[in-house]
């Protein structure tokens, strides 16, 4: 490590938000020609740390040296000037502009705007590192992976030597991830410093040369990736030994609970979102749903919960005594009262299910406010429920009267899931339940889902991480462009096979 | 027989205030500021021009006026008046992050009140018999068309018979379209209105762009008020005569799907609809006339219905229109 030059040295960095300490005297070195993985649980201060390097936040204390020089980075522009480029988790792109326009945005070059010249330079960068970008394509027409590529090219176009990627693989398919990692290796070999923020251990092992671990805003370790193990990293990250395997008991007495037949759904602007989808979800079983984001997962869950208008097809809910009822055409309240619970974690976490400005108790009440005969609401039961959820799911909150908005993402998700489970559903629909969550919270949620399954609930789990889907689910339904691409057994399926099915109908085995 | 040669010049004259207002509002909205104060700002632009011209006419006898001062003083007064209104709007919405709709409506109410107060005062000062104030000497300079226009028949009447402010309006609209589409400043401005967080991360000064676009837009809109008094109304100011042209200008912004070059034909269309009732055959029932006066507003409603069926992303309003921007929000 000594023969490498430090591109960035961060010394004794402290940053607080109100009473929350996000970073506490953290030291961090970034070297040229190396991929550094920044590993830590949610709220451990990884992103905050890097946001200070990219000028989004300003450290309360501490110093930053770039190429040995003490440097003050007070705005994103300063960061660019020092060759630091960050690719955020939520892409910072303007949807109605083209790729090339987004790439030159904010640049103060001489002369008039010459998009052709920009496009030519973009092409050169793409050829050098192996990207594919159409400079004239509008952002809103792009897939997530394409958008990410534009972000990376944008940073390189500005001549960045230090690249920071915040959870870049969260939204990619395995194939796209491989492609991204190949590009990152090219950059490393080109002498650039690459930092990747992640909490997926296998990715750390795959791509990084060195790994720095943060825990609750404090620095806990700096390891050479080749000399460590997943177990060691996890223990350092969580601060205690953690069981890394998901326990998957055999389904107990699986019986059809929800039968979806030929379901077709169109969005309000007429785009076909689900096309002739047919499957059965059994009680006592976790049915995973895999697919690239935007392939109809959301519409499928919403259709079952009665929030989405369907064009054709039936959704039959089968009771324990064998009687069946069609859910299509029923209103959401009626469906919910039949025991179908939806816990949907949208991209912005608070968009659906919870109200950010209301506290935990009030959010619990959103489900139960119709209960009871009185005109006035009874706050006692919801408060007890909120307290129970906080205790059972280890929600990190100052109290049940804290507005949800103040909680970190993982805790928000626990509250949402906790509330849905508390209504003792017979069907539990969850989407992206662990999106953006750290390992420890994720496993708490997997455990919760598994317990629901053992209690005989039919769980439908829309997930992003294929490794988890394969470990958690009994069966996995793969969607591709709104069609069912395949239904595989969670115990025997292979990741690569699912990845292929996600991108192409039927995958390799078209006879599936 | 419908007389196009007399209709078109009147439609154009009617359209110029709308074009100024629409161009100004498009620039403003491109920065993400929904400035509903435009009607008030146009009103202030008009009355400030009137005040400038009034003081100038009081100080200098008509035969000693020069074109430079007769045009320059009212124009400067008008620009300063509307700039101050724009600055007030920006200070409230960008710096203090007040609600844009409420601020805009307050600015409109304030602007109209301001105009009527000073308009009323001036009318009192002149001791005139009618509730209006005439500034014909200044107006003549504003209305000066090209000297050879009369000799060119219908061509001259349709294309060359206007005062310089009409041509300026078209030049400003075309220049705005070019700047928005083909320059770095325009690209940055569009990014600020679409996604300020992204623009901020790209190193663009959000507040600066919002202030610049809104103030410039206000000044352009203010010229619309000036044109109305000095050219269209022949220098006669009477309270509330400007009417609802400011709101029509805002409707035009949606009609043109935020494109200043589209605002030129669209404003002429609106101007034509505005005066169409004057061209009804004589002897027609008066109530029919009133129905014709509704046309611009009916078209606006139809346009709103059509544009709300948004199919194309490019035709939608700037994404963060009406929203304040905070940087360190978590």
Per-residue model confidence as pLDDT tens digits over A135-174: 999 998 888 888 888 998 998 888 888 999 988 887 777 7
Q: Is B204 on the interface with A (CB under 8 A)?
A: yes
Distance CA A32, CA A162 (A): 8
A92 and B313 within 8 Å at the Cβ level: the answer is no
Q: Which of B184, B198, B327 lies nearest to residue A92, judging by beta carbons?
A: B198
Percent of chain A with pLDDT over 90: 8
For the segment B231-256, the average pLDDT, to the nearest whole number, is 89
Q: How confident is the model at residue A244 (pLDDT cuts 50, 70, 90)?
A: low
Phi, psi (5° rounding) for residue B134? -110, 130
Same domain, A258 and A151: no
* Angle, in degrees to the nearest 10, between helices B100-126 and B38-59: 20
Distance CA A442, CA A245 (A): 12
Q: How confident is the model at residue A504 (pLDDT cuts 50, 70, 90)?
A: confident
Residue with tokens 């949907």: A344
Q: Which residues of A touch B209 (CB under 8 A)?
A: none
Same domain, A66 and A211: yes
- A496 or B264, higher pLDDT: B264
- How far away is chain B from the Cα of A16, in angstroms, using its nearest Cα? 12
- Three-state SS annotation for B222-271: HHHHHHHHHHHCCCEECCCCCCCHHHHHHHHHHHCCCCHHHHHHHHHHHH
Identify the CA nearest to A129 among candidates A199, A61, A194: A194
Let me know: does A129 contact A187? Beta carbons within 8 Å: yes
- Tell me the pLDDT tens digit for each residue of B71-122: 999 999 999 999 999 999 999 999 999 999 999 999 999 999 999 999 988 8
Same domain, A132 and A21: yes
Sort strands A475-480 and A458-462 into parallel, antiparallel or unpaired.
unpaired
- How far away is chain B from the Cα of A68, in angstroms, using its nearest Cα? 24
Which CATH number applies to B4-329: 1.20.120, 3.80.10, 1.10.3470, 1.25.40? Answer: 1.10.3470
pLDDT of amino acid A350: 55
pLDDT of amino acid A510: 40
pLDDT of amino acid A18: 72
Domain boundaries of chain B, sorted by first residue: 4-329
A112 and B313 within 8 Å at the Cβ level: the answer is no
Distance of CA B66 to the CA centre of its chain: 27
B183 and A77 within 8 Å at the Cβ level: the answer is no
Structural Rg of chain B based on CA atoms: 20
Residue with tokens 């690459």: A194
Same domain, A253 and A212: no
For the segment B259-264, the average pLDDT, to the nearest whole number, is 93
Phi, psi (5° rounding) for residue B221? -65, -40
Q: How confident is the model at residue A392 (pLDDT cuts 50, 70, 90)?
A: confident
Distance CA A287, CA B124 (A): 82
**Is residue A1's pLDDT more than 50?**
no
- B22 or B1, higher pLDDT: B22
**Is residue A466's pLDDT more than 60?**
yes
Lowest mean pLDDT among A149-153, A366-370, A418-422, B170-174: A366-370
A264 located within any domain: yes
Q: Chain B residue with minimal CA distance to A406?
A: B330
Q: Is B181 on the interface with A (CB under 8 A)?
A: no
Q: Which of A57, A107, A269 lies nearest to residue B311, judging by beta carbons?
A: A269
pLDDT of amino acid B104: 96
Mean pLDDT, chain A, integer = 82
Q: How confident is the model at residue B175 (pLDDT cuts 50, 70, 90)?
A: very high
- Tell me the pLDDT tens digit for each residue of A400-425: 888 887 777 677 878 888 888 887 78
Same domain, A200 and A59: yes
Same domain, A35 and A158: yes
Quote the domain boundaries for residue A315: 245-339+473-512
Mean pLDDT, chain B, integer = 89
Residue A476: left (phi > 0), alpha (psi -120 to 50), or beta? beta
- Tell me the pLDDT tens digit for each residue of B194-211: 999 888 878 788 999 999
- Tell me the pLDDT tens digit for each residue of A479-489: 888 888 888 88
pLDDT of amino acid A349: 54
Same domain, A25 and A49: yes
Phi, psi (5° rounding) for residue B175? -65, -40
A443 located within any domain: no
A95 and B183 within 8 Å at the Cβ level: the answer is no
pLDDT of amino acid B146: 77
Distance CA A451, CA B239 (A): 75
**Is residue A310's pLDDT more than 80?**
yes
Same domain, A230 and A270: no
Percent of chain B with pLDDT over 90: 53
Q: Which of A57, A96, A104 lies nearest to residue B314, judging by beta carbons?
A: A96
pLDDT of amino acid A241: 63
Distance CA A269, CA A468 (A): 34
pLDDT of amino acid A343: 66
Let me know: does B42 contact B81? Beta carbons within 8 Å: no
Same domain, A52 and A171: yes
Q: Which residues of A touch B200 (CB under 8 A)?
A: 76
A432 located within any domain: no
Q: How far is CA A184 from CA A35, A53, A163, A376, A386, in A?
A: 8, 20, 9, 59, 44
A17 and B319 within 8 Å at the Cβ level: the answer is no
pLDDT of amino acid A296: 82
Distance CA B319, CA A50 (A): 28
B311 and A140 within 8 Å at the Cβ level: the answer is no
CATH code assigned at A257 = 3.40.50.300
User: From edge to edge, which strands make up the β-sheet containing A324-326?
Assistant: A272-282, A256-266, A312-318, A324-326
Helix/strand/coil for A486: strand
- How far away is chain A from the Cα of B185, in angstroms, using its nearest Cα? 9
For the segment A237-259, the average pLDDT, to the nearest whole number, is 76
Q: Which residues of B touch A113 (CB under 8 A)?
A: 182-184, 187
pLDDT of amino acid B310: 62
Instruction: Tell me the ipTM for this assembly.
Output: 0.82
Q: Could you tell me where the beta strands, DSSP code E, fall in A371-482?
A: 427-431, 458-462, 475-480
A106 and B328 within 8 Å at the Cβ level: the answer is no
Identify the CA nearest to A154 among candidates A121, A115, A188, A192: A121
């Amino acid at each position: 490590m000594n023969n490498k030059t430090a591109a960035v040295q961060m010394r004794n960095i402290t940053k607080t938000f109100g009473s929350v300490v996000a970073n506490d005297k953290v030291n961090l070195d970034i070297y040229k020609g190396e991929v550094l993985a920044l590993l830590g649980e949610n709220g451990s201060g990884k992103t905050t740390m890097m946001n200070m390097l990219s000028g989004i936040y300003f450290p309360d204390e501490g110093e930053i040296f770039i190429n040995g020089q003490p440097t003050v980075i007070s705005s994103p522009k300063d960061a660019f000037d020092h060759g630091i480029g960050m690719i955020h988790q939520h892409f910072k792109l303007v949807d109605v502009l083209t790729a090339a326009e987004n790439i030159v945005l904010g640049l103060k070059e001489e002369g008039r705007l010459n998009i052709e010249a920009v496009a030519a330079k973009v092409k050169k960068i793409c050829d050098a590192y192996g990207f594919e970008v159409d400079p004239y394509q509008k952002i809103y027409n792009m897939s997530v992976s394409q958008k990410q590529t534009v972000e990376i090219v944008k940073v390189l176009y500005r001549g960045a030597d230090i690249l920071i990627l915040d959870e870049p693989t969260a939204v990619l398919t395995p194939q796209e991830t491989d492609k991204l990692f190949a590009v990152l290796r090219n950059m490393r070999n080109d002498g650039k410093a690459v930092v990747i923020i992640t909490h997926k251990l296998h990715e750390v092992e795959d791509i990084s040369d060195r790994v720095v671990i943060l825990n609750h805003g404090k620095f806990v370790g700096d390891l050479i990736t080749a000399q460590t193990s997943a177990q060691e990293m996890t223990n350092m990250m969580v601060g205690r030994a953690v069981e890394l395997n998901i326990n998957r008991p055999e389904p107990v007495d699986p019986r059809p609970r929800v039968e979806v037949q030929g379901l077709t759904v169109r969005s309000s602007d007429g785009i076909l979102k689900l096309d002739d989808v047919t499957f059965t979800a059994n009680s006592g079983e976790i049915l995973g749903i895999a697919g690239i984001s935007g392939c109809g997962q959301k519409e499928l869950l919403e259709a079952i919960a009665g929030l989405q208008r369907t064009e054709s097809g039936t959704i039959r809910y089968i009771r324990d005594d064998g009687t069946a009822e069609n859910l299509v055409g029923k209103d959401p309240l009626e469906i919910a009262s039949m025991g179908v619970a939806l816990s949907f974690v949208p991209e912005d976490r608070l968009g659906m299910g919870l109200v950010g400005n209301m506290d935990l108790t009030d959010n619990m009440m959103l489900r139960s406010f119709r209960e009871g005969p009185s005109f006035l609401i009874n706050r006692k039961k919801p408060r007890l429920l909120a307290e129970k959820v906080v205790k059972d799911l280890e929600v990190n909150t100052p109290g049940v009267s804290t507005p949800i908005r103040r909680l970190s993402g993982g805790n928000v998700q626990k509250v949402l899931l906790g509330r849905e489970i508390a209504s003792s559903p017979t069907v539990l629909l969850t989407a992206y339940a662990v999106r953006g969550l750290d390992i420890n919270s994720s496993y708490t949620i997997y455990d919760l889902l598994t317990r629901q399954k053992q209690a005989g609930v039919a769980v439908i789990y829309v997930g992003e991480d294929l490794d988890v889907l394969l470990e958690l689910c009994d069966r996995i339904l793969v969607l591709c462009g709104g069609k069912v691409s395949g239904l595989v057994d969670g115990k025997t399926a292979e990741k690569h096979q699912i990845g292929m099915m996600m991108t192409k109908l039927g995958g390799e085995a078209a006879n599936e | 027989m419908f007389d196009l040669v007399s209709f078109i010049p009147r439609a154009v004259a009617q359209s110029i205030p709308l074009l100024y207002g629409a161009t100004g509002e498009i620039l403003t909205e491109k920065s993400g500021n929904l400035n509903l104060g435009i009607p008030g700002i146009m009103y202030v632009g008009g009355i400030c021009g009137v005040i400038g011209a009034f003081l100038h006419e009081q100080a200098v006898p008509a035969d000693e006026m020069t074109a430079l001062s007769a045009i320059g003083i009212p124009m400067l007064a008008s620009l300063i008046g509307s700039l101050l209104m724009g600055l007030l709007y920006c200070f409230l919405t960008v710096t203090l992050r007040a609600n844009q709709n409420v601020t805009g409506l307050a600015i409109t109410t304030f602007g109209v009140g301001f105009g009527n107060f000073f308009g009323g005062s001036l009318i009192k000062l002149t001791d005139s018999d009618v509730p209006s104030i005439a500034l014909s000497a200044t107006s003549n300079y504003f209305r000066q068309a090209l000297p050879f226009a009369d000799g060119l028949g219908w061509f001259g009447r349709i294309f060359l018979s206007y005062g310089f402010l009409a041509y300026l309006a078209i030049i400003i609209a075309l220049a705005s379209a070019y700047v928005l589409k083909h320059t770095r400043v325009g690209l940055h401005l569009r990014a600020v209105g679409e996604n300020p967080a992204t623009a901020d991360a790209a190193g663009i000064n959000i507040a600066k762009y919002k202030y610049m676009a809104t103030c410039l837009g206000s000044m352009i809109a203010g010229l619309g008020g000036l044109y109305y008094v000095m050219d269209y109304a022949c220098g006669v100011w009477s309270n509330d005569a400007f009417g609802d042209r400011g709101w029509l200008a805002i409707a035009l912004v949606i009609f043109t799907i935020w494109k200043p070059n589209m605002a030129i034909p669209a404003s002429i269309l609106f101007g034509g609809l505005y005066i169409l009732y004057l061209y009804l055959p004589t002897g027609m029932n008066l109530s029919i006339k009133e129905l014709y006066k509704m046309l611009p507003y009916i078209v606006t409603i139809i346009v709103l219905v059509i544009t709300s069926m948004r199919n194309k992303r490019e035709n939608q309003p700037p994404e963060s229109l009406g929203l304040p921007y905070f940087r360190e929000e978590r």
